[in-house]
Amino acid sequence: MLTAMTSAYGDFKHILITGASSGIGEALALAYAGPDITLSLCGRDTSRLAAVAGACRARGAEVDASTLDVADRVAMAAWITARDRATALDLVIANAGVSGGMGETADATRRIFAVNVDGVLNTVLPVIDLFRPRRGGQIALVSSLASFRGFGGAPAYGASKAAIRVWGEGLRCALAKENIGVTVVCPGFVTSRMTDVNKFPMPFLMSAEKAAETIRQGIAANRGRVAFPWPMLAAVWLLALLPDSWAGAISGQMPDKD
């Protein structure tokens, strides 16, 4: 159990967010921005990231915005360490992720795993080393409802998010005795540049702002899993419980991302 002495119940002062230049990352940055808040944001698009940083500063936050690729292990470790040295981190959200929007070719598959799995490792592992001596802090890993069952249209995306979900769930148990909170976030369809390329129906599509508020509340409560919206969660749970031949037939009929 986490004790009340940690920042795992929402009293965060320095928040680091990856993939902050659009979508959920941008919405989270804006949701947390305010006076006496320090935000460390990274993304790959310099102009979009600068716009997000400017909007957060307008809300009173102190912001460091760095153009980084989370797949770059050395650069991520150096940035995270430097940001923590400037002001101690107390919440880190590993949000950066990509999908096979152009189709899951061999190159796209490798890139998906590099960002969605290695990118999360490159964010979270240095943070664990920083949090352990303090016996406190909160980590959030953004997975997906697609992590509960493999889908024919996006096998690499689902597999990468499944790896992060299971790892995060295990980390929560492993780090609880060290007073470090871990929350795994499993959103459904959320408006973003990633979903903008989808040409198929996206049931229960949610705004990034609403998703960010749901995530923020879950992190503040130190929930182990924040999965939404509930109708989509129920659907993927049901699909995962079906016999494999049935579930495979259903998921195989779903449209490819293109």
pLDDT in tens, 8-66: 346 899 999 999 999 999 999 999 999 999 999 999 999 999 999 999 999 999 999 99
| Phi then psi dihedrals of residue 50, to 5 deg | -65, -40
Residue 3 lies in a domain: no
pLDDT digits (tens, 9 = 90+) for 132-159: 999 999 999 999 999 988 777 789 999 9
Return d(Cα 193, Cα 26) in angstroms, integer: 11
Query: What pLDDT does residue 14 have?
Result: 98
Residue 258 lies in a domain: no
Q: Looking at the predicted structure, is the pLDDT value of residue 101 above 80?
A: no
Count of Cβ atoms closer than 10 Å to residue 159 Cβ = 19
Residue 60 lies in a domain: yes
Query: What pLDDT does residue 1 have?
Result: 35
Range of the domain at 108: 14-251
Helix 106-113 × helix 155-176 angle, to 10°: 10
Residue 198 is part of a domain; what is its CATH number?
3.40.50.720
Residue 7 lies in a domain: no
Q: Looking at the predicted structure, is the pLDDT value of residue 194 above 80?
A: no
Answer whether 238's CB lies under 8 Å from 211's CB. Answer: no
Of the candidates 32, 131, 157, 167, the residue annotated as catalytic is 157
Residue 173 lies in a domain: yes
Active site residue 9: no
Helix 119-131 × helix 73-86 angle, to 10°: 30
Residue 100 lies in a domain: yes
Q: What percent of the chain has pLDDT over 70?
A: 81
Residue 257 lies in a domain: no
What is the secondary structure of the chain as a DSSP string? ---TTSSTTS--SEEEESSTTSHHHHHHHHHH--TT-EEEEEES-HHHHHHHHHHHHHTT-EEEEEE--TT-HHHHHHHHHHHHHHS---EEEE------TT---HHHHHHHHIIIIIHHHHHHHHHHHHHGGGT--EEEEE--GGGGS--TT-HHHHHHHHHHHHHHHHHHHHHHTTT-EEEEEEE--B-SHHHHT--S--TT-B-HHHHHHHHHHHHHTT-SEEEE-HHHHHHHHHHHHS-HHHHHHHHHTSPPP-
What's the total number of domains in the chain? Answer: 1
pLDDT digits (tens, 9 = 90+) for 237-258: 676 665 665 556 556 555 554 4
Answer whether 70's CB lies under 8 Å from 119's CB. Answer: yes
Residue 6 lies in a domain: no
Contacts of 5 (CB under 8 A, 6+ apart): 136, 179
Q: Looking at the predicted structure, is the pLDDT value of residue 123 above 60?
A: yes
